[in-house]
Structure 1
C-alpha cells in the first residue's frame, strides 16, 4: 500500500481502531474558531475527535538568521498559546482533549502531507472568511482545480455561523 492510499479511511471505526479525526486548521481568526466549534460538535455527535493544526509559514528574513530565529520562535509560541486556548474549548465541548499539531512550511503543502500521513483524519473542516478579502486561501484552494483536491471530504462552513446555528447544523 502506498503512502497516498486512502482506502483505509473508514467513516466509522471498528472496535480497537482509532477514532476518526476532524481536522481544523487554526490561525487565530474568528473563522477558524467557527470551524473549530463545528468540528467539535460533529465529533461529539459522531464519537470522533478533533485535531487542531497550526502551520508556521516561512518568513522573509532568511538572510538575517538571528531575526529569523527569533521570529520563528515567537510564531511558535503564539501558535502554541492559540492551540492550548482552543484545546480547552474543544475539551469543554466534547469532553476530549484534541490532538495538537504544529508544522512549519507552506500551508497547503503541510496540510496535504499531514492528511496523507495520518489516515485517521477523516474530514477537514474549514470556515469561509467573512471579509472583503474572500473566503480564505485554503477555501479557495479547495474550490479550485481538481489537482488541488484533498483525499478526504472537506466541510466548508460559513465563517459567520452563530453558536446556535452550529448546534443545529452539526
Structure 2
C-alpha cells in the first residue's frame, strides 16, 4: 500500500527521514539529510526504531531491556540533535518507536505523508551495505518513497558538494 505524498501540497513541508541507530554510519545519513533539507527548504525527521523482538522472549528481563533500549535511543538522539543545533541551527523532529525495524520504518512513512525521501547510509563492511540497507533493498514489495543510500566514505565537503 502506497499512500500519496503530501509534501508538495499547500500547508505541507517536504521531510527527509534519517534512521538513527548506534552505528557510526547513521551520522552520514543525518549529515546528508540535514543538508538536503536545509538546501531545499524542507525539514528533517530522525527515527530511532528499537527492535523489541528479543524483549518478549526473555521473561523477567524484558522490561529492563526495553527501558535500557529506550534510554540508549534518547541519548543517541539527544547527541545528534545537539550537533545539528550547534552546526546547522536545525531542530529536527525526533521519533522513537518499537518493533521490527523495516516494518516500523514503512509504517511510519505511510502514516506521515509529508516524508518525501528516506536517507540511509551504507556500512563500511565489505560483505554488505549493512543490515538495514540490505533488508530494505531485498523487499519485493513497492516502497512508499525514494531511498537515498549515502556511501560511507563521503566527507562533509563531498556531502556539501552534492546537496
Structure-2-length-normalised TM-score = 0.90
Match runs of 1:120-139 below 5 Å: 120-139=114-133
> How far is 1:160 from its partner?
1.7
1:58-107: CA deviations, max 9, x gaps? 25353543311111100100010001111122233443311111111100
Q: RMSD over aligned Cα, in angstroms?
A: 1.8
The correspondence for 2:153, drawn from 141, 160, 166, is: 160
The correspondence for 2:108, drawn from 89, 96, 114, is: 114
Asked whether the 8 Å contact 1:13–1:20 carries over to 2, the reply is: no
Mapped pair 1:7 → 2:4: yes
The correspondence for 1:41, drawn from 35, 41, 48, is: 35
Asked whether the 8 Å contact 2:49–2:101 carries over to 1, the reply is: yes
1:27-55: CA deviations, max 9, x gaps? 12111000000000000100111111111
- Aligned to 2:46, the other structure's residue is in SS state strand
Q: How has the CA–CA distance of structure 1 residues 59 and 6 changed in structure 2, closer, same or farther, with 3 Å as cutoff? A: closer
Q: How has the CA–CA distance of structure 1 residues 93 and 120 changed in structure 2, closer, same or farther, with 3 Å as cutoff? A: farther
Q: How has the CA–CA distance of structure 1 residues 7 and 29 changed in structure 2, closer, same or farther, with 3 Å as cutoff? A: same
Structure 1: which 4+ aligned runs deviate by more than 4 Å?
none
Q: How has the CA–CA distance of structure 1 residues 145 and 83 changed in structure 2, closer, same or farther, with 3 Å as cutoff? A: closer
Q: What residue ranges of structure 1 are gaps of 5+ in the alignment?
A: none
- Aligned to 1:18, the other structure's residue is in SS state coil
Q: Match of 1:151? A: 144
Q: Match of 1:103? A: 97
Q: Distance in 2 between matches of 1:83 and 1:115?
A: 19
Q: What residue ranges of structure 2 are gaps of 5+ in the alignment?
A: none
